[in-house]
Amino acid sequence: MPDTNKTVGKFHNQRRINPVTDWIIRLLKGTLVGIGAILPGLSGGVLAVIFGLYEPLLKFLADLKKDFVKNVLFFIPVIIGVAFGIFLFAIVVEKAFGRYAAIFVCLFIGFVIGTFPSLYKTAGKKGRSTKDMVILIISALAIFTLMLVGEQQLVNVTPDIPVWFGSGALIGLGLIVPGMSPSNFLIYFGLYDKMAAGINNFDMAVVIPLTAGVIVCVLLFAKLASFLFRKYYSGMYHFILGMVVGSSLAIFPVIVFPAFKADMLSASGLSFGATVALCLVMLVVGSLATWLFSKVEEKYPREDLF
């Protein structure tokens, strides 16, 4: 007969986490989600899924009255992190992203690779059917094709308050629809560099409507997304998983491979070999970091947070 006290003690120790450490971890997660929200080729939603923030966020926004104080306290470091990530990366975009885009992006693709086993396991938590795998493949092919077709810039839009509000709504949609990269659309419309400059310079004519657009979009679509998850958990998660896979694969021909062209190498000041080596290092570092992180997360089940 098993030792009940020993089993309970082991279970208890497995699930304990230092509150300060937990707060810092959520802050770091939020920072990475914020960076992902404006990083070309990725979406904040993808990273929110990867870091286990997506479902809790939807549950909270879909029913704000339920455990309101507890949820707000949980998401405070996440929100601070998201804001910090967006402002931090806006500075990086202006200074260096154009020159080292492929290297930065490879780090984030590594994040996706490292957590894919955990995501796949989570997607099949309530069962996995042939239909779910078909959904995964179709969604992966769809987002991959969309990103390749839309690779070229479409048109230059003159920025104003309604345009920045719409841009914020796109970013918010990227949080609700993992795999969608709002930054790609902003690049296509010639708004990405202007947005980065506006954020970096704390231009309130950009920051305020942009923020308002994010908030309005997230609040409007969170309830719908939460309903779909409750009713079609397996299908929705495999849809998201397909979006993650397709968007990650599309990043290579859209952003990474062009960095190996002669003009891009000249702009970065790096040789072909150095660029390839740095991209591979970033892939490995990102993959290893989030793989190890996912192993740590397994000791503290996400369900315990709510």
Domain ranges, ordered by start, for the chain:
4-305
Considering the chain, what is the average pLDDT of its residues? Answer: 79
Over residues 274-291, mean pLDDT: 88
Q: What is the pLDDT of residues 246-274, one digit of tens each?
A: 877 877 887 788 888 888 888 778 889 99
Per-residue confidence (pLDDT) for residue 8, from 0 to 100: 42
Per-residue confidence (pLDDT) for residue 131, from 0 to 100: 92
Per-residue confidence (pLDDT) for residue 302, from 0 to 100: 46
pLDDT at residue 105 is higher than 50: yes
Kindly indicate the confidence band of residue 46, based on its pLDDT and cuts at 50, 70 and 90. Answer: confident
Over residues 55-67, mean pLDDT: 83
Per-residue confidence (pLDDT) for residue 181, from 0 to 100: 66
| Cα–Cα nearest to 188, from 159, 145, 152 | 152
pLDDT at residue 139 is higher than 80: yes
For 285, other C-beta atoms within 10 Å of its C-beta total 15
Kindly indicate the confidence band of residue 59, based on its pLDDT and cuts at 50, 70 and 90. Answer: confident
In order of 58, 124, 129, 138, the CA distances from 134 in angstroms are 25, 14, 9, 6
Q: What is the pLDDT of residues 171-215, one digit of tens each?
A: 887 778 765 667 766 766 768 778 888 888 889 999 999 999 988
Per-residue confidence (pLDDT) for residue 141, from 0 to 100: 92
Kindly indicate the confidence band of residue 27, based on its pLDDT and cuts at 50, 70 and 90. Answer: very high
Per-residue confidence (pLDDT) for residue 6, from 0 to 100: 47
* Burial class of residue 93 (count of CB atoms within 10 Å of its CB; 0-12, 13-18, 19+): buried
Give the pair of three-digit tokens for residue 173.
């949609």
Kindly indicate the confidence band of residue 170, based on its pLDDT and cuts at 50, 70 and 90. Answer: confident
More confident residue, 98 or 217: 217
Report helix, strand and coil shares of the chain as percent, to nearest 5.
80, 0, 20
pLDDT at residue 83 is higher than 60: yes
